[in-house]
Amino acid sequence: MRTRIWHFFFAACALSFLILVYKTHSILRDGRTSLVYALEPESNTTAHTNQTQILLVSGLFPLSKSKHSKEDYRTWLSLFLGSVTTDIYFYTPPELAELVAEVRGDLPIIINTTFSTPFDIPPLVGLKEAYEKMYEKDRERSRHSPELYAIWNGKAYYLDEALKNSEKQYSYAFWSDAGSFRKEHLYRNWPDSGRVEEIWDQGSRLSGVDKEDLLFFPMWEPPSASVKYWDDSLGPVDTDFSEGSFFGGSPQTVRWWKELFFLYHDHYLSQGIFVGKDQTLINALFLLYPSRVITVWASDPDAPAHKGLVTSVEGSLGSCGDHWYYYEFWLSDLQARNGMRNLWNSKSWFQWWKERSTCRLTRVVSVKDVLTRRFGAKWTPPEATLSLPPS
């Protein structure tokens, strides 16, 4: 009896191995492996590399109730500061400056310790009490805090201020959450300057807006059809539309965004409207100025890159890791993308029985296009009732 069981076990193992070999052969034949990149030919993105300068801006302000140690922060920061070689401007309180410098090592960084708390930046000075009152209106207050609101809402200021303080002239600047790189990755010179110029060229052609006036945000999904009738008197839009983990553009667009963000932030706050979650205010500004925003939508059902994939088994674009951070792959160069494809596929070997595809590169889209697809071709943005003073 025991011999039969062992025979059955070895037969099952042999059958599994044969199935694996067959599937591997099929994947190689069909071009669904990281060894074949027929879906993404080499593109010429090197022309701008020498003249396009990029600044990444980030920060770390531990919450007063945080349970994490400096070693926890070291682990998270090492995947970002210890790996990405692009110029970084980093905000943190004085007590964490040494840790940040140690993790960054010899890579270029400016550490700004001017602000000890997120309420110390000029747009938020004196608003702590107002934020504490606003906290009572938060439907997610069990997971949030007034300090967290201040960190979120300060991003537009930090990005613009970093550009003003930098002696170097940058073509583009981007805010990137310090905790956005949570797993092993191969991104080094990121975002790739040639890739950024390629995206902005395409975005300008799609939107009809000059490159210098385009703002980039990743997106998760469009708002519901009912938002078609929204106007700015209704306040922020509470849905998972924008992703605030990463955003940016040219210096002039960064300045415009900061001023616009705080114009509406201050107005809504004065009206007693909840503005603690930056994502909801960002969503509202998308609706007012959709032509100025370009995006990547990983789950776009109409994107050519989406066609033919088994989305019930994998993500909308194949084996791409966490789709919230798809923009990291999307903004990297071809070599890094291919390396990440290999990395993601190698980690799924134990799920050999599942159909899977190599991560695909999707298109850039205009937020205006996304919203007209959702609301109908005749939809036009609502008129903004607030306006910035002439520059």
Question: What digits encode the pLDDT tens for the residues 185-199?
Answer: 999 999 999 999 999
Nearest Cα to 362, choosing from 312, 319, 290, 300?
300
According to the model, what pLDDT value does residue 350 have?
Answer: 54
* pLDDT range class, residue 43, cuts 50, 70, 90: low
Q: Which residues of 341-352 are buried (b: 16+ CB within 10 A; e: fewer)?
A: bebbbeeeeeee
Nearest Cα to 291, choosing from 224, 214, 375, 377?
214
Specify the long-range contacts of residues 271-274, CB closer than 8 Å, at least 24 apart.
Answer: 271/235, 273/235, 273/236, 274/134, 274/137, 274/138, 274/235, 274/236
77-106 pLDDT tens trace: 999 999 999 999 999 999 999 999 999 999
- Mean pLDDT across 162-189: 95
* Domain residue limits, the chain: 54-192+223-273
Q: Which residues pair with 56 in a beta bridge?
A: 88, 174
* pLDDT range class, residue 273, cuts 50, 70, 90: very high
- Mean pLDDT across 164-173: 96
CA 127 to chain centre: 28
The CA distances from residue 144 to 54, 147, 179, in Å, are: 32, 8, 17
* pLDDT range class, residue 237, cuts 50, 70, 90: very high
Please list the alpha-helical segments (H only) found in the chain: 2-30, 70-78, 97-104, 128-135, 146-153, 155-165, 193-207, 251-270, 278-288, 326-330, 334-346, 367-375
According to the model, what pLDDT value does residue 387 have?
Answer: 93
Q: Is the pLDDT of residue 180 over 60?
A: yes
Q: Is the pLDDT of residue 9 over 50?
A: no
* pLDDT range class, residue 138, cuts 50, 70, 90: confident
Q: Is the pLDDT of residue 143 over 60?
A: yes
- Mean pLDDT across 289-312: 89
CA 44 – CA 42 distance, rounded (Å): 7
Q: Is the pLDDT of residue 203 over 60?
A: yes
